[in-house]
């Protein structure tokens, strides 16, 4: 009988997902001998523990990635809100929406994106942290004919 590196066999069993029979074939020994060493050194328990640790690390990493994505999306939403509000307040803004409705739509989109990124979407039943109320700038003169938005609009 050849000299078996039982630590290497154990490591391969724990990390590879091989069966005890496959380990016996790989290391050139009788399956009953591998089963005996496996039972004495608790290979099955060690494999389960290693899998639990790996699952925990994977879950933590996924949660970190998810949080980073949500933060980035919240920042996009805040940026859109900032740009939309600035364009509503500054009629000379060079990259202004063509209409009031476009600016208001951008503001709503920014709020929606931020809320979704922060897990505050209304589908989940959460409440608004605050209300966004549009107050027109002093220079804004509504058209004489009615438009889509005749008065300040609340944006949720």
User: Total structural domains in the chain?
Assistant: 2
- Asked if the structure places residue 49 within a domain, the reply is no
- Asked if the structure places residue 51 within a domain, the reply is no
Domain with 106, as residue range(s), is 65-155
- Asked if the structure places residue 37 within a domain, the reply is yes
Q: Closest by alpha carbon to 101, among 139, 129, 138, 143?
A: 143
pLDDT in 10s for each residue of the chain, 156 residues: 468 999 999 999 999 989 999 999 999 999 999 999 999 999 999 999 999 999 889 888 888 888 887 787 778 777 877 777 777 677 666 556 677 777 777 777 777 777 777 676 655 544 444 444 555 556 555 555 544 444 444 555
Residues 69, 131, single domain; the answer is: yes
Residues 37, 85, single domain; the answer is: no
Residues 85, 21, single domain; the answer is: no
Residues 143, 69, single domain; the answer is: yes
The predicted model scores a pTM of: 0.47
- Asked if the structure places residue 46 within a domain, the reply is no
129: three-class secondary structure by DSSP? coil
**Taking a C-beta distance cutoff of 8 angstroms, is the pair 106, 83 a contact?**
yes
- Asked if the structure places residue 103 within a domain, the reply is yes
**Taking a C-beta distance cutoff of 8 angstroms, is the pair 84, 110 a contact?**
yes
Report the alpha-carbon distance of residue 99 to residue 149 in Å, rounded.
11
Residues 89, 141, single domain; the answer is: yes
Residues 18, 81, single domain; the answer is: no
Residues 139, 81, single domain; the answer is: yes
- Asked if the structure places residue 59 within a domain, the reply is no
- Asked if the structure places residue 60 within a domain, the reply is no
Residues 98, 33, single domain; the answer is: no
Residue 112 sits at the vertex; the CA angle it makes with 109 and 101, to the nearest 5 degrees, is 30
């Amino acid at each position: 009988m050849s000299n078996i590196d039982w630590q290497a066999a154990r490591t391969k069993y724990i990390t590879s997902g091989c069966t005890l029979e496959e380990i016996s074939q790989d290391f050139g020994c009788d399956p009953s001998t591998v089963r005996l060493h496996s039972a004495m050194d608790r290979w099955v328990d060690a494999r389960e523990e290693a899998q639990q640790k790996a699952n925990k690390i994977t879950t933590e990493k996924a949660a970190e990635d998810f949080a980073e994505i949500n933060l980035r999306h919240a920042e996009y939403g805040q940026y859109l809100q900032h740009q939309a509000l600035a364009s509503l307040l500054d009629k000379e803004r060079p990259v202004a929406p063509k209409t009031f409705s476009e600016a208001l739509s951008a503001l709503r989109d920014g709020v929606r994106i931020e809320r979704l990124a922060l897990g505050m979407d209304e589908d989940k039943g959460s409440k608004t942290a605050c209300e966004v109320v549009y107050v027109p700038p002093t220079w804004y003169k509504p058209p004489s004919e009615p438009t889509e938005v005749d008065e300040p609009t609340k944006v949720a």
